[in-house]
Amino acid sequence: MYQSNILLIYTGGTIGMIKNPETGALKSFDFDNLLIKIPELKLLDCTIETVSFEEPIDSSNMSPQYWIKIADIIETYYHSCDGFVVLHGSDTMSYTASALSFMLENLSKPVIFTGSQLPIGDLRTDAKENLITSIQVASLRDYDGPIIKEVGLYFEYKLYRGNRTTKINAEHFEAFASLNYPELLESGVHLKINKDFLIKPSNAFKFKIHSQLNTNVSIVKLFPGISEKMLQVFLLCSDLEGVVLETYGAGNTTTQQWFIDLLSKVIQKGIYIINVTQCSGGSVLMGQYETSEKLQEIGLISAGDMTTEAAITKLMYLLTKNLSPELFRTKYEQSLRGEMS
């Protein structure tokens, strides 16, 4: 019987920490000794290789240069491994999972992100279950090879599409939610796979990584009372090439003339403005209300039901493709990796 070979990539984060019982201080442990720390991994029907960042980082320090590093590791091991589990701090995990979903072009193997709220050596840790099940999920196969063929995020008994997730809680074990798309898998006594919701990629194209990202972007969240002067600081920055504008409800904004004129001026400069809702769930529907009709007229691009994390990383990705404004809008407003409905 075929035995999957899984690569475990440790970037940093709480999951890879152990606590000194005398001082209480946290430190990273050597992932080469993983089987010693978690002997239950020997029960899994797969082989496990490990790769660790030379200097593991807190996920608050995560940046596109590290996204490229993760993608490079996956590319190096892509043909020798059947699946990948990326251990990552939870704070920016949704950003990284979203970015990697776009960067890993023509992916046909599982890339599962996971982490924990408590260190792996803690008495009540959630790290062991998250890690063990993530590896098991990454090793799932049928007659057609791996069952999961996309970037996922596993946390607290559920596997989500990575680019559909948002961190919603800093204290509970159930730290993530995917409010606009169902979970791909639920872990109970058995693993319940929701196969209808999985990406089924074409095998016609060869896997490759896209290792360029444009970081001349920003996220601007609207709030009642935001002033023209403050908004100009964000939107008229000399190097800005794209902005994700977090609007109200279904994509609504103030209709004050100065606001519409400023957005129009920014768009005429060739800067893309993406309209994403501030709400955790739901979708932008420009033109549904009078307060968003003008936005449609002046050329804002709809993010549909994308998360802010997916919206900004998709923007970074597409800005490097040298697309015409018309093609950019078309590409942005269509689902590339299942990130929007």
The residues annotated as belonging to the active site are 14
Question: What token pair was written down for 174?
Answer: 């159930």
* Contact criterion met (CB below 8 Å) for 273 and 301: yes
* Contact criterion met (CB below 8 Å) for 74 and 209: yes
Residues 248, 264: Cα–Cα separation, whole Å: 19
Integer CA distances (angstroms), 212 to 65, 72, 147, 321, in order: 9, 12, 29, 9
263: Cβ contacts below 8 Å, ≥ 6 apart: 235, 245, 273, 295, 298, 300
Residues 193, 24: Cα–Cα separation, whole Å: 39
CB count in 10 Å sphere of residue 325 = 12
Q: E strands along 39-156, which residues?
A: 46-52, 83-87, 104-105, 111-114, 141-142, 145-146, 151-155
Residues 22, 244: Cα–Cα separation, whole Å: 47
27: which DSSP letter? Answer: E
Q: What distance lies between CA 169 and its chain's CA centroid?
A: 16
Residues 88, 10: Cα–Cα separation, whole Å: 7
Residues 211, 206: Cα–Cα separation, whole Å: 16
Q: For residue 45, what is the enclosing H or E element?
A: none
Which residue type occupies 188?
G
